[in-house]
Homo-oligomer: A and B are copies of this chain.
Amino acid sequence: MSLIVVGTMAFDAIETPFGKSDRIIGGAATYIALSASNFVKPIKQISVVGGDFPQEELDHLSSLGVELEGVQIKKDEKSFFWAGRYHMDMNERDTLDTQLNVLANFTPVVPDSYQDAEFVMLGNLVPAIQMSVLNQMKKKPKLVVMDTMNFWMETAMADLEKVLKHLDVLLVNDSEARQLSGQYSLVKAAKTIMGMGPKYLVVKKGEHGALLFHEDKVFVAPALPLEEVFDPTGAGDTFAGGFVGHLAKTKDISFENMKTAIIVGSAMASFCVEKFGTARMKEIDKADIQSRIQQFVDLVNFDISII
């Protein structure tokens, strides 16, 4: 079962309390593909890069089963660039620099060879671009998952509301869920947001884990307590990649299996934050992932037979 991934492939420069990176590879679609490729192949990538994007990064993605026909390479332009600084609590960050570059005029094209994909992951991007990809799909996908952020709620709310109506699953963090719904209680926020289109809502809470809402049901997943969160960049995208990767692999989009997908996503995100940028994601193998998922089982497992 193949998976379309839409999003940025970019350069980041990151400062955390633990150190500072040079210009390193980043972008939502990069993290999503690196994470999802552990579960499903092929991944059909849709993005845009400049001539400065390293060929070896593209080759590495290809070697993982990521098809790049939908990735536009604008040789005379520069890739999207973001620089940011995290604070001690790692949930807050300041944007130091944003250079749209190739993103300024990005018009995504869904290649014919992508039309058979039944799973679509719309990474955080201009809502109109996310909508354009869905509009190009000749057959309604089995599952559409989307990530977004507060910036689009403030600058492109009408477009965002339009694309929300076409989603199965929306992923946002807790403050974004509150902003989008105008509700402080996450339970109420989830009801409001599911009224806007998505059948499922995943609320990411960083070090506090994640919540999955569907109809009147709710599931809570922990984050792995870590000695150090070295760099949270890409953790949300890596979570999304594990989540949708597991669903595309198993082809089961029930609430029960989405709970498992949340755990898989959480496990993948817990690797991502251990090193700067994509470094840790490029090291791990299937055995690492299996053992990390087992840690999550141990983390939440308890016996109520005694009560």
Interface residue ranges, A against B (CB under 8 Å): 88-89, 184-188, 205, 208-209, 211, 218-222, 225-229, 246, 250, 252, 256-257, 259-260, 262-264, 290, 293-294, 297, 299-304, 306-307
Contacts and interface: CB of A to CB of B under 8 A. Distances in A.
Contact of A222 (B222, B250, B260): B222
A260 B225 contact: no
A222 B220 contact: yes
A228 B191 CA distance: 13
A200 to B, nearest CB: 15
A185 B227 contact: yes
Contacts of A228: 185
Residue of A205, A259, A302 with highest tally of chain B CB at under 10 A? A302
Contacts of A301: 259
A212 to B, nearest CB: 10
Contacts of A227: 185, 187-188
B304 A260 contact: yes
Given A205-B208, A218-B299, A220-B300, A257 B187 contact: no
Given A299-B220, A302-B260, A307 B225 contact: no
A213 to B, nearest CB: 8
Nearest to A186: B225
A219 B209 CA distance: 13
A174 to B, nearest CB: 10
